[in-house]
């Protein structure tokens, strides 16, 4: 149970509660109402989540993972990567009847804060919410993950990942912090998002180099195997995600390199799909492109911009 010492303004917290099972949804709603929460929006599927998120951003999402009309873990992943909604840091509690190990891993890897097995007690739910208000874990950012630091519990944490204290509108509202207003919170979200993007860009740049090292041997064979094809697909994703994330940053020269990497990777994939050997020049460009992208985020390396122009000029002459 929440006490007056724990929280002061639970009635200002906006909660999005989603569950296909009306009775289960009602049970959770009653727990929340009985403990001081008042602003609860309900839904029964992914369509409801997407619709509600277009209208306003809640302070907490509580949702069953089996929604029928969409994949909840994919939604959370996209939320954390700022592909959905205005606040990629909003707390998320997933619920599930008898979740399998695959279910749990998917939720953990998506960046959700917690998963609770049904049937849940009022105490289980309230303790999870209380921990998100009083002691939410900092976020870590790797090339494949954005979300709460799992510590030793998961392989999602990169050795070099630095924990980031992210904005928490749930805490700000629940504790009735009079010094925080919505505009301040949004500015903090925007500031933190820039930090996450820079961490993500650095992580992506290292993975681009690692992927190219794996891809090049596979391009020397007569036919491209499935593993190499999947690696090329992921390389394309990384290039596009880097371009998306660096909008508004000072790394314009890296954006140029990424555009070139995207074009080269698409040509290699198109040739592979058509049953043709990729152009030798495209294969030769992969390593210098990857090296220059990785170098491009080193602010002390003044040669990165020149390398971007030289490589892009080479591609333009094809």
- Asked if the structure places residue 190 within a domain, the reply is no
Tally of domains within the chain: 2
Q: Are 116 and 92 in contact (CB under 8 A)?
A: no
Write out pLDDT tens, residues 154-172.
444 444 567 889 999 999 8
- C-alpha to C-alpha distances, 88 to 128, 168, 237, 283, nearest whole angstrom: 19, 10, 20, 36
- The residues near 76 (Cβ < 8 Å, ≥ 6 apart) are 92, 94, 107, 110, 111, 112
Per-residue pLDDT at 112: 97
* One domain for residues 78 and 224: no
- Write the CATH number for 266: 1.20.120
- Asked if the structure places residue 51 within a domain, the reply is yes
Residue 7, number of CB atoms within 10 A of its CB = 22
Q: Are 234 and 211 in contact (CB under 8 A)?
A: yes
- Asked if the structure places residue 3 within a domain, the reply is no
Q: Which of 136, 151, 180 is the last residue of a domain?
A: 180
Domain boundaries, position 171? 10-180
- Asked if the structure places residue 306 within a domain, the reply is yes
Query: What pLDDT band is residue 152 in, cutting at 50, 70 and 90?
Result: low
pLDDT at 179 over 60: no
- Write the CATH number for 45: 3.40.50.2300
φ/ψ (deg, to 5) at 236: -65, -45
Q: Which of 180, 205, 220 is the last residue of a domain?
A: 180
DSSP 104: H
Write out pLDDT tens, residues 267-293.
999 998 888 889 999 999 999 999 888
- Report pTM: 0.78
* One domain for residues 86 and 18: yes
pLDDT at 188 over 80: yes
Distance between CA 128 and CA 215 in Å, rounded?
A: 43
Residue 24, number of CB atoms within 10 A of its CB = 16
């Amino acid at each position: 149970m929440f006490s007056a010492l724990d929280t002061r303004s639970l009635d200002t917290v906006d909660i999005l509660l989603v569950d296909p099972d009306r009775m289960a949804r009602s049970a959770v709603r009653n727990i929340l109402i009985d403990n001081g929460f008042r602003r609860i929006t309900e839904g029964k599927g992914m369509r409801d989540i997407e619709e509600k998120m277009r209208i306003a951003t809640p302070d907490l999402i509580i949702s069953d993972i089996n929604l029928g009309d969409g994949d909840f873990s994919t939604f959370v992943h996209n939320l954390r990567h700022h592909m959905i909604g205005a606040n990629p840091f909003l707390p998320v509690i997933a619920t599930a009847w008898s979740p399998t190990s695959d279910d749990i891993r998917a939720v953990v890897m998506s960046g959700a804060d917690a998963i609770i097995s049904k049937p849940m007690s009022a105490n289980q739910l309230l303790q999870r919410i209380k921990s998100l208000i009083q002691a939410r874990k900092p976020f870590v950012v790797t090339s494949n993950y954005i979300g709460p630091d799992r510590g030793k519990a998961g392989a999602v944490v990169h050795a070099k990942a630095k924990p980031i204290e992210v904005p928490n509108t749930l805490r700000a509202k629940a504790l009735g912090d009079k010094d925080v207003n919505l505009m301040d919170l949004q500015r903090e979200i925007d500031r933190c998002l820039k930090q996450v993007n820079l961490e993500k860009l650095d992580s992506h740049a290292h993975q681009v180099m690692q992927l190219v090292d794996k891809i090049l041997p596979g391009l020397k064979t007569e036919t491209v195997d499935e593993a190499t094809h999947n690696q090329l697909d992921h390389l394309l994703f990384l290039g596009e995600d880097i371009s998306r994330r660096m909008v508004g940053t000072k790394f314009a020269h890296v954006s140029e390199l990424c555009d070139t990497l995207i074009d080269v990777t698409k040509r290699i994939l198109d040739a592979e799909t058509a049953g043709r050997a990729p152009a030798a020049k495209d294969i030769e460009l992969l390593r210098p492109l990857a090296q220059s992208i990785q170098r491009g985020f080193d602010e002390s390396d003044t040669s990165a911009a020149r390398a971007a122009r030289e490589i892009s000029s080479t591609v333009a002459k094809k």
